[in-house]
Amino acid sequence: MAVAKEEVNVNKMYGQECILKKEEFMEKYHVKENGLTSSEAQEKINKYGFNEIRQAKPKRWYNYFFESLFSPFNCILLGIVLILIYTDIYLPETPSYANILVIAILVITSTFLDFFEEYRSNKAAQALQNIVAITANVLRDNKEVKIPVKDVTLGDVVLLSAGSMIPADLRIIEAKDLYVGQSSLTGESDSVKKVVNSEISDNDLDSLADLDTICFMGTNVISGSAKGIVIKTGDSTYFGKIAHTISQGKPKTAFQKGIEKISKLLINFMLVLIPLIFLLNIFKHDIITAFTFAVAIAIGITPLLLPVILSSSLSKGAVRMSKKKTIVKKLDSIQNFGAMNILCTDKTGTLTEDKIVLEKYLDIKGDEDIRVLKHAFLNSYFQTGLKGNIDEAVINRGLENNMENYKEKYKKVDEIPFDFSRRRLSVVVSDGTKKQMITKGAVEEILNICSLVDYKGDVFPITKEIKDNIQNISKKLNEDGLRVVAVCQKNDINNIDHFEVSDEKNMVLMGFIGFLDPPKESAKVSIERLNRSGIRVIVLTGDNAEVTRAVCNKVGIKSKKIILGNQIDKLTDDAVLTLLKKVNVFAKLSPIQKARIVRLLRDSGNTVGYMGDGINDSPSLTNSDVGISVDTAVDIAKESADIILLEKDLNVLLDGVTERKTYICKFNEIYKTINKFQFWRSCFCCNSKCFTTIFT
């Protein structure tokens, strides 16, 4: 995505809003922290319009019409018509309009058929896409509500958390460790920290990255949470201002490139063949006869109805696939969807039920301890980021164990949100007398920040023997198919007012909580069906090797050898490709490592599908030939996907693939029939013996 920065003066657009203190900003622009009322919001929408980019609105009907009329093949035929006007009307004593009329009728018929199908297919795709439209969480009437992005208006207070797409240009008024990915606008992969009050002066505002209190439409939250007030919408946003200089979307797919190559090949062949046929015939026939024959051959080798058949097949296929719970966002992706020979997928929710249940809460020696559940409950209940299945499972089990009163007894003081590099989350709570930091996360990461352990209320230093025993307990639980999360806490923090990641140290390990996410009953059959259909399934997960192996063995995926993310980093691309030929399971992968594997598979000549629904799946969805997500996915995953499944099940995906294969097969049969008809039609029109005439 390329941006012409010089066309937009960021200092002029956002300088004042950026450097003003929060209180000064809210007073100057008369905005409220509790958001708009419904009536105020409607008045603003009526005044300023919907939050839409003008350049991104659907094309008008005449755009489709002229694109159909001036397709490469039609341009050749229109050129032939101009020549025939000279040879059939101007030169002969008795003008003949037959050939011109035939070609004109074919061009007009082709144009209108192509126009109607293309226009209708885009309308169908647009209607289907509206089913999975992106939404935003805002405060309306002092309540949190979810509304379509287009209904966000000036003055709205937008609530952000990890995975949120920024729906408009915002001025941040509350933030907790907020990091935003702005690569869609700047091309920089590093996330940018956003704060409430700017840390730079007006004179230093030179680029987009300097605006540390402004979030931009089209970017996404990597980690943290925040509140922001909408200051610009639609065409007034930075994204809107530079929309005409931005080229969005993936590079051309193999299918698109193939169509272009075929078109160019046929046109080049025709440009060479027509003069050759003309020169060979001119010695036996007069100029008009020879040229007429050459023109007839040109008509015969031009696949006139190819665009019609293609767009018709794809659009009807999209509608049919929607009945199989498969929503097509981009019509061109249908071909890649069916041609897919490798499917990369996450484990959770695809191979498993995605209904996590907290099975165990154990102390450091593997015995059940209700205090471990209590600390996990406080962490999950008071965290404000993107609540996942793990948090819901912890809260449900806590409520089953009569922990409802902890909601009132404790108050949240601060939070250090989860991110994919730390792989942990901390919440600071107070019971009125003391503060307590409670952290939960991956076992390795929690062990790295703990120097003490708690066993039945006694606290003592952690030793190598204790650490080894903890790791053995965790590994045993993993081998049983349980996902393990460690829990730790720290009490001596009453003198700290503002908490940072650096405070996550010298903590006391409490124990573990173990979650069971059983494999889907349909997963094994689905894997077998995919394999029979010629689709190889590769599992790319951030989970550990033991849990992944337990699940894969139950669903029939070979997992004798599992490669970890840290091993991938040490290998060259060629070495990774060698592994990919024989290894089907990769565990403990970061988002970048997943994306690298997908890219290598695609670059080696495979048609790769990637199925994911999380924040960390976005790079892989973009890198794949066809990105597949689900309607319950986070916003950025849905935005990156080409295909949306209305049910997270491999059987639904396979039904969609089968439906697509049926339509492409029909397309091939129809095209062969039409092409054969066109060839004989040209012979009939020129009343000759076709190619034998050239050499006799």
Task: Assess whether 493 and 569 both reside in one domain.
Answer: no
Instruction: Answer whether residue 552 is part of any domain.
Output: yes
Q: What is the mean pLDDT of residues 28-50?
A: 90
Residue holding tokens 């012409």? 4
Higher pLDDT, 312 or 103: 103
Domain boundary among the residues 211, 230, 245 is at 245
- pLDDT band per the 50, 70, 90 thresholds, residue 55: low
- Per-residue confidence (pLDDT) for residue 635, from 0 to 100: 61
Task: Assess whether 490 and 531 both reside in one domain.
Answer: no
- Per-residue confidence (pLDDT) for residue 667, from 0 to 100: 46
Instruction: Answer whether residue 693 is part of any domain.
Output: no
Q: Residue 303: is it exposed, middle or buried by C-beta count within 10 angstroms (0-12/13-18/19+)?
A: middle
The three-class DSSP label of residue 382 is helix
Higher pLDDT, 203 or 619: 619
Number of domains in the chain: 3
- Per-residue confidence (pLDDT) for residue 115, from 0 to 100: 73
Residue 135 pairs in a beta bridge with 148
Instruction: Answer whether residue 116 is part of any domain.
Output: no
Domain boundary among the residues 516, 537, 556 is at 516
Please state which of the ranges 62-66, 137-141, 481-485 shows the lowest mean pLDDT: 62-66
Instruction: Answer whether residue 397 is part of any domain.
Output: yes
Across 123-132, 465-474, 613-622, the highest mean pLDDT is recorded for 465-474
Of 391, 363, 393, 397, nearest in space to 379 by CA: 391
Please state which of the ranges 127-131, 338-342, 413-417 shows the lowest mean pLDDT: 127-131
Please state which of the ranges 215-224, 363-372, 528-537 shows the lowest mean pLDDT: 215-224
The CATH number assigned to the domain holding 207 equals 2.70.150.10
The Cα–Cα gap between 229 and 253 comes to 39
- Per-residue confidence (pLDDT) for residue 310, from 0 to 100: 64
Of 668, 61, 29, 659, nearest in space to 306 by CA: 668
Instruction: Answer whether residue 250 is part of any domain.
Output: no
Task: Assess whether 424 and 477 both reside in one domain.
Answer: yes
- pLDDT band per the 50, 70, 90 thresholds, residue 203: low
CA dihedral 79, 80, 83, 89 (to 10 degrees): -130
Task: Assess whether 375 and 507 both reside in one domain.
Answer: yes
Is the predicted pLDDT of residue 689 greater than 80, yes or no?
no
Contact criterion met (CB below 8 Å) for 150 and 349: no
Domain boundary among the residues 488, 516, 544 is at 516
Query: pLDDT, tens digit, for every residue of 154-186?
Result: 999 999 987 788 999 999 999 887 888 776 666
Residue span of the structural domain in which 19 resides: 5-25+152-245
Q: What are phi and psi of 654, to 5 degrees?
A: -65, -35
Q: What is the mean pLDDT of residues 16-39?
A: 88
Is the predicted pLDDT of residue 249 greater than 70, yes or no?
no
The three-class DSSP label of residue 12 is helix
Q: What is the mean pLDDT of residues 369-386?
A: 89
157-160 and 135-140 strand pairing: antiparallel
Q: What is the mean pLDDT of residues 426-442?
A: 92
Query: pLDDT, tens digit, for every residue of 283-296?
Result: 777 776 777 677 66
- Per-residue confidence (pLDDT) for residue 274, from 0 to 100: 76
Helices 98-131, 72-84: axis angle to 10 degrees equals 160
Contact criterion met (CB below 8 Å) for 347 and 517: no
Query: pLDDT, tens digit, for every residue of 560-605?
Result: 889 998 898 889 999 999 999 989 999 988 777 888 999 999 889 8
Residue 246 pairs in a beta bridge with none
Q: What is the mean pLDDT of residues 50-64?
A: 70
Query: pLDDT, tens digit, for every residue of 641-668?
Result: 788 877 766 777 776 676 655 444 544 5
Task: Assess whether 384 and 338 both reside in one domain.
Answer: no
Residue 585, both tokens: 């399971």
Task: Assess whether 396 and 543 both reside in one domain.
Answer: no
Task: Assess whether 417 and 511 both reside in one domain.
Answer: yes
Set 346, 419, 642, 655: catalytic member: 346
Task: Assess whether 347 and 397 both reside in one domain.
Answer: no
Task: Assess whether 535 and 466 both reside in one domain.
Answer: no
Task: Assess whether 15 and 158 both reside in one domain.
Answer: yes
Across 110-119, 347-356, 469-478, the highest mean pLDDT is recorded for 469-478
Task: Assess whether 240 and 208 both reside in one domain.
Answer: yes
Q: Percent of the chain beyond pLDDT 70?
A: 76
**What is the longest distance spanned by two Cα atoms in the chain?**
113
Of 357, 366, 265, 353, nearest in space to 306 by CA: 265
The CATH number assigned to the domain holding 501 equals 3.40.1110.10
Query: DSSP characters for 621-682?
Result: HHHSSEEEEETTS-HHHHHH-SEEESS--HHHHHHHHHHHHHHHHHHHHHHHHHHHHHHHHH
- Per-residue confidence (pLDDT) for residue 695, from 0 to 100: 27
Residue holding tokens 């719970």? 325
Instruction: Answer whether residue 93 is part of any domain.
Output: no
Query: pLDDT, tens digit, for every residue of 628-639?
Result: 887 767 666 776
Higher pLDDT, 400 or 423: 400
The Cα–Cα gap between 137 and 144 comes to 7
Across 127-131, 253-257, 539-543, 636-640, the highest mean pLDDT is recorded for 539-543
Is the predicted pLDDT of residue 676 greater than 80, yes or no?
no
Instruction: Answer whether residue 296 is part of any domain.
Output: no
pTM over 0.85: no
Instruction: Answer whether residue 378 is part of any domain.
Output: yes
- Per-residue confidence (pLDDT) for residue 303, from 0 to 100: 63
CA distances from 303 to 73, 265, 676 (A): 8, 12, 10
Task: Assess whether 374 and 509 both reside in one domain.
Answer: yes
Is the predicted pLDDT of residue 141 greater than 80, yes or no?
yes
User: Is 573 considered catalytic here?
Assistant: no
Higher pLDDT, 209 or 24: 24
Average pLDDT, the chain: 79
Is the predicted pLDDT of residue 450 greater than 90, yes or no?
yes
Helix (H) or strand (E) holding 411: strand 411-416
